[in-house]
Amino acid sequence: QADVELIGGYEPARTIITESLKAGKNVVSANKAALAKYWDQIFTTAQIYQKSIYYEASVGGVIPVVQGLSEGLASEEILEIKGILNGTTNFILSEMKKHCVPYEDALKSAQKAGYAEADPSFDVNGIDTANKLAILASLAWGSWVKVKNISVIKGIADLDIEDILITQDFGYAVKLIGSAQKTKDGIDLSIQPCLVSHEHAFATVENEYNAIMITGKDSGDVLFYGKGAGQLPAASAVVSDIINLSKSIVTNTAGVVPDVVYDSTKKIKILPAGKSKAPYYLRFTVIDRPGVLSKISGILSEFKVSIARSLAQFNMSKKDYGRITIITHETYSENLEKALKQINATKSIIKSKTVKIKIEF
């Protein structure tokens, strides 16, 4: 009465899942890619044929976040979902910080430890995190949140060890964060490396571990933490799903009540990417000449980006350039992008493209 799908990818996984449901079988799956891309089709089919689909292992490895969101927080109005949702990238970032090594060396360590594939692009470019965030957001708000609606700003492959060390001195850790936040103008969805204060719980999440913070209107913050990568944690979640599904089958309740409260006609508003607001860390590599900081701050001010903190360092290893680091106040991302575009085009003061990292906590 049940099929288990663990092959990954989009096809033939989608076909296997939907045909199993149509054949009167319940399904256990760990496939975040197929679930995120075909959420509407899969759960509509499950409801039509009154069958269950269990998918705890698709998000966060062994962490029971799907069950926690759908059952433990069923009465809540969900305001935010923010998390470290990919064990591979978190392992790489941990290696970079602990051993002061560049991304390429940290990636090799992750591959050697079995946490990164030979081709790690799916993880390090943020696609895996986007799939998982799409599943959690769809579950939280009862409507299909498509992966294409999530702004994957960038992954971690171009992170410079210099920025990890600088921001560490500023009191931050760098984490790849998937964020879904309910605002009055729509759901703000993004994937990008972010700065997390050393005082926040996420800063202590190391190696292959994941953490997801879900904020409810009445519950406040609820933190889920555990191993998000590795064969055994994933297997544990799959077997738990099989056990829970078996209980429903024995009691003849599997599929009678939909596992996901889902209305295919319900639409939710997505906040345009440029309307997202946050403070940012900026690092400028500049030509050493008078008035550089004044010029940069003037352009930022022109686009309504205010400075909370700045540090200028000149006469470094090379005499012809310096480094200016700035922490901004909360600002619209579209305003910041316009300001940086103008600053980067000012070749008389800028030596290389400005580094920008969102400050999440």
Of 132, 175, 356, 358, the active-site residue reads: 132
Known catalytic residue at 304: no
- Using CA of residue 324, residue 205, residue 178, residue 154, what is the dihedral sign? positive
pTM over 0.85: yes
Q: Note whether residue 260 is domain-resident.
A: no
Are residues 192 and 96 located together in one domain of the fold?
yes
Instruction: Report how many domains make up the chain.
Output: 3
Q: What parts of the chain have a pLDDT lower than 50? A: none
Residue 319, pLDDT score = 65
Q: Is 265 part of any domain?
A: no
pLDDT, residue 313, reads: 86
In this prediction, residue 253 carries a pLDDT of 78
Same-domain status, 100 and 30: no
* Domain region containing 247: 2-68+230-251
Same domain, 50 and 99: no
Condensed to tens digits (0 to 9), the pLDDT of residues 245-258 reads: 999 888 887 776 66
Same domain, residue pair 40 and 186 = no
> Do 243 and 290 reside in the same domain of the chain?
no
Is 272 inside a domain boundary? no
On whether residue 120 sits in a domain, the answer given is yes
76 with 206, same domain?
Answer: yes
Q: Is residue 262 part of a domain?
A: no
User: 218 in a domain, yes or no?
Assistant: yes
Bond prior to 12 in cis (omega within 30° of 0): yes
Q: Determine the pLDDT at residue 264.
A: 67
Residues 217 and 246 in one domain: no
Q: What is the pLDDT of residue 26?
A: 95
Given this model, what pLDDT does residue 308 score?
Answer: 96
The DSSP line for 107-162 is HHHHHHTTSS-SS-HHHHTSHHHHHHHHHHHHHHHTS---GGGSEE---STT--HH
Whether 90 and 63 map to the same domain: the answer is no
Same-domain pairing of 167 and 241: no
Which CATH number characterizes residue 34's domain?
3.40.50.720
Indicate whether 258 belongs to any domain. no
Residue 204 and residue 342 share a domain: no
| Pair 164, 185 in one domain | yes
Same domain, 208 and 106: yes
Q: Tell me, what CATH number does 310's domain have? A: 3.30.70.260
Chain segment 146-180, per-residue pLDDT in tens: 999 999 999 999 999 999 999 999 999 999 999 99
Instruction: Tell me, yes or no, whether 270 lies in a domain.
Output: no
